Amino acid sequence: MAITPQAPALPIVAPVADRRSLPSRWRLRWRGDRWGAGAALLTGIIALPLLAILFYLGQESVEWNHLAETVLVRYLTNTLILVVGVSLLVLVMGVVPAWLVTTCEFRGRRLLSWALILPLAIPTYIAAFVFYQGPEAAIPMMIKIRLRFGVEAFLLAEQVIRYGLLIVMLAAVLYPYVYLACCSAFSRQSRAVIEAARCLGDSPGRAFFRAALPMARPGIVAGVALVIMEVINDYGAVHFFGVPTLTEGIFRTWFGMGDKVAALRLAGIMMLVVAALLAVEQWLRGRARYVEADAGSIPMKRLPLRGGKAILALLACFAPVALGFLFPVGRLLHWAGLHLLSDAGSGFPAGMALVRGLGLALATAFVVTALAALFMYAVRLRESRLRRALGRIAGMGYATPGAVIAVGVLVVFGTLDRFELPLLPLVSGTLFVIAFAYMVRFFAIPLQFTRAGLERIGKPLEEASRLLGHPPLQTFLRVDLPLLRAPLIAAGMLLFVDILKELPLTLILRPANFETLATTAYSLASEARLQACAVPALLIIAVGAVGLLFMNRWLQPPLKNE
């Protein structure tokens, strides 16, 4: 059941009901295909800002040749170094704890199982400030290296420390994507497979590598793909650590050289990198197909660990939390303390505005998740190549830098403004614009969750409802929606946390006098006021952590093994 090479996909999902098998009055309605039209329309609306950007791609670029000759190679190498380094590290930091937490029993397991997702609440630009203390603290050692071993050794050590620390930092706050994906994959694996491996003489370790890990591959890949897109999109941390990637190149070319076309070509290359990595994975996977154990199979029983093994397991699970959450939060608490104790720490700016920021994030998360659920339902109502493509296009914003999307949204609304539509002034320049941009940027998240949820539900219930004469909308509301409650709430919460952390898009599009926690933290940090910046940073982390824990509660599959 693990990998069945050469075999076609097993139809756990029944083939879509043939149109002819439906009652005749259905056929008439079906022909209108309002769901398909709705999905296409929504895709169009979401893709509009991206298309506006693509429109510039074909135009003539003054600086492109110059870029290609000077900096392009460096941008590409840096991007690839980070992608490869962070991917490898998140595999270790995500997969191992996920395996231990789902299949073993040891002291501290329950606490760590949710603490392991907390680093996701820390924005990379804030983690960068904290981790940059590393190179700064290493300066005395660096000076010794220069004195004893010369300049070359010093420069080498400097590079290694800086790149290494940046990779560790990014991995430490991003590994939870892999951890979450693996937890869900491992906990749904059938015990029978692992037991078969054990019966055939494999040690628990070998069983992990030979059976559990290969079976979890789609989940792991999905998690790593998210990590890669976050890494490629990062702007603040790489700039701070002096590792210019394609994203930094985009801003530098666009805003510093005023060459929109060359900047967008860099963005195009960035999307190609993502596509290429995913294609490589597809190719490596070959013709293997993956089938999840159905609900009836026996879940895994946790293996109790004692003594040294329990301590090792505890350490393996604790280390990522310590690095990705406890260390940065500890440093921030120290700074916040310094700030609040000094007399400068009297006023915390814009309390009300921050509440509005939170409100916007919550409302947007809610609406976007609802739209994504309907969209995915429409896509799955009649699977086709075209509809799957719609899903892929609608999720494209996730691989596009926030600032590029912001500019695309500005172009769209600016163009619409020129037509002087009657209702538009009500909309442009308001929170609606920014909420729309969040949707373009993050639509992939609820989409993924809904897709996974609908796949798990399967078609039979829905078909029963439809055959009983309920129209699709009713079927969706009464059958699928209640079953989708857990993944939708989880998606909404993850979306909420992501919007809360979002910076570049928010900076460009926000209406006047609108502050979020992220923009407040950023203002203070760009004034080099790290102590004052620690307060809003901690608030982002606190609100985000609550959201994540809430998400985790809904994500946990019901435990049946007790």
Partner 1 sequence: MKKALFHSLLAALAALVPCSQTRAAEEITLYTQRHYEFDEAVHRLFTEKTGIVVKVVKAASDELIVRLEEEGANTPADLYMTADGGGLDRAKKAGLLQPFTSPVILEKVPATLRDPESQWVALTKRARVLIYSPARVKPGELSTYEDLADPKWRGRLVARSSSNIYNQSLMTTVIEANGAEAAGAWAAAVRKNMVRPPQGSDRDQIRAVSSGLADVAIANTYYLGLLETSEDPKDRDAAAAVKIFFPNQEGRGAHVNISGAGIVKSSKKAALATQFLEFLLSDEIQSMYAEETMEYPVSETAKWSDIQLKWGKFVADDVAFSVLGDRNAEAVRLFNEAGWE
Residues in 125-164 that interact with partner 1 by CB under 8 A? 132, 135-136, 139-140, 142-143, 146, 151, 155, 158-159, 162
Near partner 1 by CB under 8 A, which window of 7-15, 27-35, 67-75, 392-400? 67-75
Give the nearer residue to partner 1 in terms of CB position, either 410 or 483.
Answer: 410
Give the nearer residue to partner 1 in terms of CB position, either 139 or 272.
Answer: 139
* Contacts of partner 1 in 435-494 (CB under 8 A): 435
How big is the site for partner 1, counted in residues (CB under 8 A)? 88
From CA 452, how far away is CA 218, in angstroms rounded?
A: 11
Structure tokens at 95: 């997969």
- Residue 56 engages partner 1 in binding (rule: CB under 8 A): no
* Contacts of partner 1 in 72-91 (CB under 8 A): 74
3-state secondary structure of 104: strand
Bridge partners of 304, per DSSP, are 105
Near partner 1 by CB under 8 A, which window of 84-92, 174-182, 297-305, 335-343? 335-343
Give the nearer residue to partner 1 in terms of CB position, either 359 or 460.
Answer: 359
Q: Name which of 281, 244, 251, 279 is nearest 267 in CA terms.
A: 251
CB 282 within 8 A of CB 168: no
CB 465 within 8 A of CB 479: yes
- Residue 418 engages partner 1 in binding (rule: CB under 8 A): yes
From CA 434, how far away is CA 431, in angstroms rounded?
A: 5
Torsion 466-469-471-476 (CA) sign: negative
Give the nearer residue to partner 1 in terms of CB position, either 414 or 469.
Answer: 414
Which are the contacts of 250, defined by CB distance < 8 A and separation ≥ 6?
263, 264, 266, 267, 270, 401, 403, 404
3-state secondary structure of 384: coil
Near partner 1 by CB under 8 A, which window of 13-21, 286-294, 381-389, 410-418? 410-418
Give the nearer residue to partner 1 in terms of CB position, either 113 or 233.
Answer: 233
Near partner 1 by CB under 8 A, which window of 21-29, 36-44, 282-290, 404-412? 404-412
- Residue 422 engages partner 1 in binding (rule: CB under 8 A): no
- Residue 410 engages partner 1 in binding (rule: CB under 8 A): yes
Near partner 1 by CB under 8 A, which window of 173-181, 207-215, 289-297, 423-431? 423-431
- Residue 338 engages partner 1 in binding (rule: CB under 8 A): yes
Structure tokens at 280: 């490589």
Which are the contacts of 130, defined by CB distance < 8 A and separation ≥ 6?
327, 328, 331, 332
Binding residue for partner 1, selected from 134, 214, 429, 458, defined by CB under 8 A: 429
Give whole-number Cα distances, 32 to 28, 35, 37, 93, in Å.
7, 9, 9, 50
Shortest distance, position 45 Cβ to partner 1, whole Å: 15
The CA angle 361-366-372, to the nearest 5 degrees, is: 120
From CA 540, how far away is CA 516, in angstroms rounded?
A: 9
Give the nearer residue to partner 1 in terms of CB position, either 528 or 559.
Answer: 528
Give the nearer residue to partner 1 in terms of CB position, either 260 or 285.
Answer: 260
From CA 549, how far away is CA 546, in angstroms rounded?
A: 5
* Contacts of partner 1 in 245-274 (CB under 8 A): 248, 251-259
From CA 556, how far away is CA 562, in angstroms rounded?
A: 15
CB 413 within 8 A of CB 440: no
* Contacts of partner 1 in 506-535 (CB under 8 A): 507-514, 519, 522-524, 526-532
Q: Write the DSSP symbol of residue 290.
A: B
From CA 251, how far away is CA 248, in angstroms rounded?
A: 5
Give the nearer residue to partner 1 in terms of CB position, either 425 or 471.
Answer: 425
Binding residue for partner 1, selected from 1, 367, 486, 546, defined by CB under 8 A: 367
Give the nearer residue to partner 1 in terms of CB position, either 313 or 409.
Answer: 409
Binding residue for partner 1, selected from 83, 354, 360, 538, defined by CB under 8 A: 360
Give the nearer residue to partner 1 in terms of CB position, either 18 or 136.
Answer: 136
Near partner 1 by CB under 8 A, which window of 34-42, 117-125, 400-408, 458-466? 400-408
CB 486 within 8 A of CB 384: no
Give the nearer residue to partner 1 in terms of CB position, either 220 or 500.
Answer: 500
Binding residue for partner 1, selected from 3, 45, 63, 319, defined by CB under 8 A: 63
From CA 471, how far away is CA 370, in angstroms rounded?
A: 19
Binding residue for partner 1, selected from 14, 344, 464, 542, defined by CB under 8 A: 344
Q: Name which of 115, 524, 134 is nearest 324 in CA terms.
A: 115
Near partner 1 by CB under 8 A, which window of 197-205, 306-314, 340-348, 442-450? 340-348
Near partner 1 by CB under 8 A, which window of 43-51, 90-98, 333-341, 444-452? 333-341
Near partner 1 by CB under 8 A, which window of 111-119, 358-366, 462-470, 540-548? 358-366
Per-residue three-class SS string for 115-173: HCCHHHHCCHHHHHHHHCHHHHHCHHHHHHHHHHHCHHHHHHHHHHHHHHHHHHHHHHH
Binding residue for partner 1, selected from 362, 486, 489, 549, defined by CB under 8 A: 362
- Residue 346 engages partner 1 in binding (rule: CB under 8 A): no
Bridge partners of 105, per DSSP, are 304
Shortest distance, position 487 Cβ to partner 1, whole Å: 16
Shortest distance, position 204 Cβ to partner 1, whole Å: 44
Q: Write the DSSP symbol of residue 254.
A: I
Shortest distance, position 190 Cβ to partner 1, whole Å: 34
Near partner 1 by CB under 8 A, which window of 80-88, 239-247, 288-296, 376-384? 239-247
Shortest distance, position 414 Cβ to partner 1, whole Å: 3
What single-letter amino acid sits at 500? Answer: L
Give the nearer residue to partner 1 in terms of CB position, either 67 or 130.
Answer: 67
Bridge partners of 303, per DSSP, are 104
